[in-house]
Structure 1
Amino acid sequence: MNKKTHMWTVLGISVALLHIIPFYILLTTSFKKESDSSSKWTFPDYVDFSNFSDAWVQANMGTAIFNNVVITVISISLLIVLGSLAAYPLARVASKLNRFMYIAFVAIMIVPPLTILVPLYKFIVDIGGMNTIWAVVLVHISFWMPLTIFLYTGFIRSTIPKELDESAMIDGANRFQIFFRIIFPLLKPVTASVIIITGMFVWNDYQFSVFFLQETEAQTITVALSKFFSQYSNDVGLVAAGSLIGMLPMVVLFLFLQKYFIQGLASGSVKG
């Protein structure tokens, strides 16, 4: 092993440890009893699942997970359909207007969500969207649509030749038929990337949910778990257990889609 290879190996191990250590502490904390005052680095010599059962009941995790699933599935589905439809003409038609719109989408991605939170909150209140699933879905779609269009546009430009469109048009297909019958089935890799990237952010969202979903029956996992932190007490064991429960669906999703996710990134889905 040469010096350069050794350096990259050490760097890779260091990066892996940065991700593994917090997860290890999360595990040790979730399996410890509340009365256990041992170091957070010490894994308990017993297995106690009381934190998981208590977190499930006290945080109303069943309802929270259901709300997360509904919000995430609807948001991702609409992002995929609308984002891919919008990206197709941007990738195929070379015009000044399309170029301007593409640059605008990239610029919007840079805007921090907190800068628009106050006017957004007022808008949601005015349309009667407080504590409703559809309002949060609308917010997520609006916020993640630029990234979705950016990914789809780059993928279509770099991997799907225009000759496919031209051949289909010669056979008498219109633009919608070309897109849904030819182009969309070829978007599987970048669609997996969109599902994982946007799905992760929507599933773990706190900044929007904590403002717009305040009633218990409408809360998501992150908002439900935040109840364990208060001015007078912090029950980290319950939060750790609840976090592990909440992360499982996204872990399973990634394991199923990781092949397409990597393929989508490698095929140019993030190239402009």
Structure 2
Amino acid sequence: MNKEKKLVWTVLGIVISLMHIIPFYLLITTSLKGGDDTSSKWVFPTSFNLENFQNAWEQANMGTALFNNVLITSLSVAMLIIFGSLAAYPLARIATKLNRFMYFAFVAVMIVPPLAILVPLYKFIVDIGGLNTIWAVVLVHVSFWLPLTIFLYTGFIRSTIPAELEEAAMMDGAGPITIFFKVVFPLLKPVTASVIIITGMFVWNDYQFSVFFLQKAEAHTITVALSVFFSQYSNDVGLVAAGSLLGMMPMIILFLFLQKYFIQGLAAGSVKG
């Protein structure tokens, strides 16, 4: 690559980075300013006003919402990892017409927008008594993100894990379940990190399902609690910014811990079979 192209790509990378960093910077500066601070939103505050975070936590009922979010996200992601990896293993290793059809069926389901079936889904949740319950929302999230999880795991197993490892374990007398959990699953760490980040982010930030299925205040997730909070305190931008920052911090911390596996697992898991 010549110097001109390298310079263009460098400038493009800087511009894209700034597009993501600037809103985050403005959110931080706004959340740290008190109501009597009339300085520009671009100016970093000289003194930190942490009362915004305390008030947002208490007035938006963030404690209950955070607990609900952690519970829903943890259960959903755990089920996606278990069911997704177990379903992907035979699809990746057993080359039959049925498995190939099932694989492409999972891929095709990924293009269906969730809002397209929201009305019948809402009726179904009401009929089974799942309204305002954690388990119903968890099952909905698992149903919608399982195809993507299977897609990533299948591509990763096909392209990254050599079948000779499983054949050697089979010669030692190991059965299919033992081979999967003792040989294959420990090697799925990169794509598992990608699954945790991608599905965890979507489940954590979900609004469209939570606002319909979790209507009681004690069942609200962070997105629903913040939407109610915004409508009540829309004039106090510092308070609103602090609430938003509190809601996004857990996923930012999770990404920082798993980022070294993310690109590797996503690239390998997106290989088409």
Q: CA shift at 1:244, angstroms?
A: 1.1
Q: Is the 8 A contact 1:209 1:223 kept in 2?
A: yes
Q: Is the 8 A contact 1:51 1:237 kept in 2?
A: yes
Aligned-partner Cα distance in 1 for 2:13–2:48: 32
Q: Structure 1 residues 137-146 or 31-40, which shifts more?
A: 31-40
Is 1:52 aligned with 2:53?
Answer: yes
Name the TM-score, length of structure 1 as normaliser. 0.95
Matches within 5 A, 1:246-257: 246-257=247-258
Matches within 5 A, 1:186-197: 186-197=187-198
Name 2:206's counterpart in structure 1.
205
Q: CA shift at 1:105, angstroms?
A: 1.0
Aligned-partner Cα distance in 2 for 1:229–1:104: 40
Aligned-partner Cα distance in 1 for 2:75–2:251: 15
Is 1:269 aligned with 2:269?
Answer: yes
Q: Is the 8 A contact 1:228 1:234 kept in 2?
A: no
Matches within 5 A, 1:88-127: 88-127=89-128
Residues 111 and 149 of structure 1: CA distance in aligned 2, closer, same or farther (over 3 Å): same
Aligned-partner Cα distance in 1 for 2:79–2:252: 22
Q: Aligned pairs, how many?
A: 271
Q: Structure 1 residues 37-46 or 150-159, which shifts more?
A: 37-46
Name 1:26's counterpart in structure 2.
27
Name 2:12's counterpart in structure 1.
11
Question: SS at the partner of 2:183?
Answer: helix
Q: Runs of at least 4 residues of structure 1 off by over 6 A?
A: none
Q: Is the 8 A contact 2:233 2:240 kept in 1?
A: no
Q: Is the 8 A contact 2:233 2:239 kept in 1?
A: no
Aligned-partner Cα distance in 2 for 1:51–1:115: 38
Q: Is the 8 A contact 1:204 1:222 kept in 2?
A: yes
Q: Is the 8 A contact 1:228 1:235 kept in 2?
A: no
Q: CA shift at 1:38, angstroms?
A: 4.1
Aligned-partner Cα distance in 1 for 2:257–2:141: 23
Identity %: 75
Q: CA shift at 1:233, angstroms?
A: 4.5
Aligned-partner Cα distance in 2 for 1:236–1:104: 46
Question: SS at the partner of 2:269?
Answer: coil
Q: CA shift at 1:250, angstroms?
A: 1.2
Name the TM-score, length of structure 2 as normaliser. 0.94
Name 2:137's counterpart in structure 1.
136
Name 1:167's counterpart in structure 2.
168
Q: CA shift at 1:236, angstroms?
A: 3.0
Q: CA shift at 1:97, angstroms?
A: 1.2
Question: SS at the partner of 2:112?
Answer: coil
Q: Is the 8 A contact 2:85 2:153 kept in 1?
A: yes
- Once the two structures are superposed, residues 215-271 of structure 1 have per-residue CA deviations (whole angstroms, 9 ceiling, x without a partner) of 1111111111111233895443222101111222111111111112233134x1111
Aligned-partner Cα distance in 2 for 1:77–1:84: 11
Question: SS at the partner of 2:45?
Answer: coil
Aligned-partner Cα distance in 1 for 2:6–2:119: 50
Aligned-partner Cα distance in 1 for 2:234–2:225: 16
CA RMSD of aligned residues (A): 1.6
Name 2:41's counterpart in structure 1.
40
Q: CA shift at 1:94, angstroms?
A: 0.9
Which amino acid counterpart does residue 12 of structure 1 have in structure 2? G
Structure 1: 5+ residue stretches without partners = none
Q: CA shift at 1:35, angstroms?
A: 4.3
Aligned-partner Cα distance in 2 for 1:97–1:34: 63
Q: Is the 8 A contact 1:190 1:264 kept in 2?
A: yes
Question: SS at the partner of 1:129?
Answer: coil
Name 2:150's counterpart in structure 1.
149
Q: Is the 8 A contact 1:155 1:269 kept in 2?
A: yes
Is 1:259 aligned with 2:231?
Answer: no
- Once the two structures are superposed, residues 61-110 of structure 1 have per-residue CA deviations (whole angstroms, 9 ceiling, x without a partner) of 11111111111111111100100000000000111111111111111111
